[in-house]
Amino acid sequence: MTIYKQSKYGHVLPHETGVTFFNSITLEVLEGGEEDAEVWRSFEQPRAAGGTADATEQVLVDAGLLVPVDRVEERRLLDKLTDIRVTQRKTRSGSFKFLRMSLTERCNLKCDYCFVEEVIYKDLPKEAAPTERFLEHVEWLIQQNPNGWPTVQYFGGEPMLRWDLIQDTTRALEEAVAAGRIAGFTHEMTTNGTLMTSERARWLVEHEVSLTISLDGWKEINDRHRVFHNGRGSYDLVIKAVKEIRAAGGEPQFLITLLPETVEILPKIVRFVVEEIDAKSVAVNAPQPTVDGWEVDGLALSRSVQESWLFCNSRGVEFQSLGAFLVELINQRRPQPDRCFEGNPTGADAHWGGYVAADGSLSFCIVWHQDERVTTPSVHQIPKERVADWHYDTASVDDCDGCIAGMVCGGPCTLERLLNGGGLNPDRCKFFKTMVPFVLTRPSIGAPQ
């Protein structure tokens, strides 16, 4: 008779209507009741299967939640992730489908938390590359996606300072569609909104540019941080921009950037943006990595994201944040091996994001793009093996092996490991260890049934 034990990759999560069983290697999800949880708990000490609960025991065995006592359970999760990464590195399959273009390093605002100003550009010149250099990158992206559907994001600095380049890029993409080179494209812009006019709003809506406007809350909070160089706040002009866009028939998304002092009031900020500004889509900026973790506490961020997500769901408002992708990954049972959450990381259709800096160089990390380890001066010189090595670095941390989020978090990204010397990111750990149980036990946000 086989003796069984609880798998270290088995997790049981109670909720209002029962329990959710989760296998953190296979990403299989099972729903059950308290009696099923009792069967699970009866294997806290290894024992033979059998008795009055045979059916439940067999289900747990089939799901890999109960395993034979002699089964070695060390590093199975890490080994599976490593196998996926090794395969992807060997095949070198994949292409770039997303391009973030920093059209300029200049900005008419001087936000006190701006990572572009303080982290990326503080030692670089403010002069942007000529238009031809950016269009060369757009042409390269088109060539990367024959008959495909690439995405371009206009970024900065403040991208609307290069209005001409936005129009030129759009024209190049539209001509590629007309010539049958690509099936279509998505282009989007993240802007502070202060340079919006009614004419520009009409043009953007006509050309189907997805607009994201940065707004950190009500006037007092927003104008404490998002200010012009003379110290004047930007809130009133942002609201004016929203009105211009809506008058033109568009609807912007609102992007909230958090600071340590605002992370815990995120739900109040989201409620304000939804109820007072009538937002239909709200996004929360991903925290920037630091030597010690993230700019904000991972646990506090997780709690605030959860509350904000549930509120938006109750109002029919789209909510985007770090962690929202977990629903798709778990439903598709798709591991996240490259630890970067832009694009599809595995298989023949693997694709990544790239970052064009204002000087015209290209990075295959969408955050870090002044380091020679991730940049290239020309799109024609970017070797695919460097990109694959960056995304599918096989380095792992033993503590990730038994983590409930191990397969869908993947551990610290390559950038985080460069910053902290190769260890865990404590804020990332706190965030995903609490977000995965939240997603698994909330059917209302699309968790698996």
Q: Quick one: pLDDT at residue 169? A: 97
Q: Quick one: pLDDT at residue 343? A: 66
Residue 320's domain is classified under what CATH number?
A: 3.20.20.70
Same domain, 168 and 126: yes
Distance separating alpha carbons of residues 126 and 357, to the nearest angstrom: 11
Residue 46's domain is classified under what CATH number?
A: 3.90.930.70
The mean predicted confidence, pLDDT, of the chain is 90
Same domain, 65 and 109: no
Q: Quick one: pLDDT at residue 285? A: 94
Distance separating alpha carbons of residues 395 and 411, to the nearest angstrom: 9
Beta bridge partners of 289: 294
Q: Quick one: pLDDT at residue 141? A: 94
For 339-349, the pLDDT digits (tens) are 776 667 777 77
Q: Quick one: pLDDT at residue 444? A: 78
Q: Which residues of the chain have pLDDT under 70?
A: 51-53, 115-127, 341-343, 369-370, 378-381, 447-449
Q: Quick one: pLDDT at residue 390? A: 82
* In a domain? residue 81: no
Q: Quick one: pLDDT at residue 342? A: 66
Same domain, 103 and 64: no
Q: Quick one: pLDDT at residue 244? A: 98
Same domain, 226 and 301: yes
Q: Quick one: pLDDT at residue 127? A: 60
Coil, strand or helix at 169:
helix
Q: Quick one: pLDDT at residue 421? A: 84
Domain that holds residue 44: 1-73
Quick one: which H or E segment has residue 11?
A: strand 10-15
Same domain, 60 and 195: no
- Would you list the DSSP string of 273-294? HHHHH--SEEEEPPPPB-SSSB
Domain count, the chain: 2
* In a domain? residue 156: yes
* In a domain? residue 424: no
* In a domain? residue 87: no
Same domain, 129 and 230: yes
Q: Quick one: pLDDT at residue 65? A: 96
Distance separating alpha carbons of residues 125 and 327, to the nearest angstrom: 41
* In a domain? residue 442: no
Same domain, 347 and 318: yes
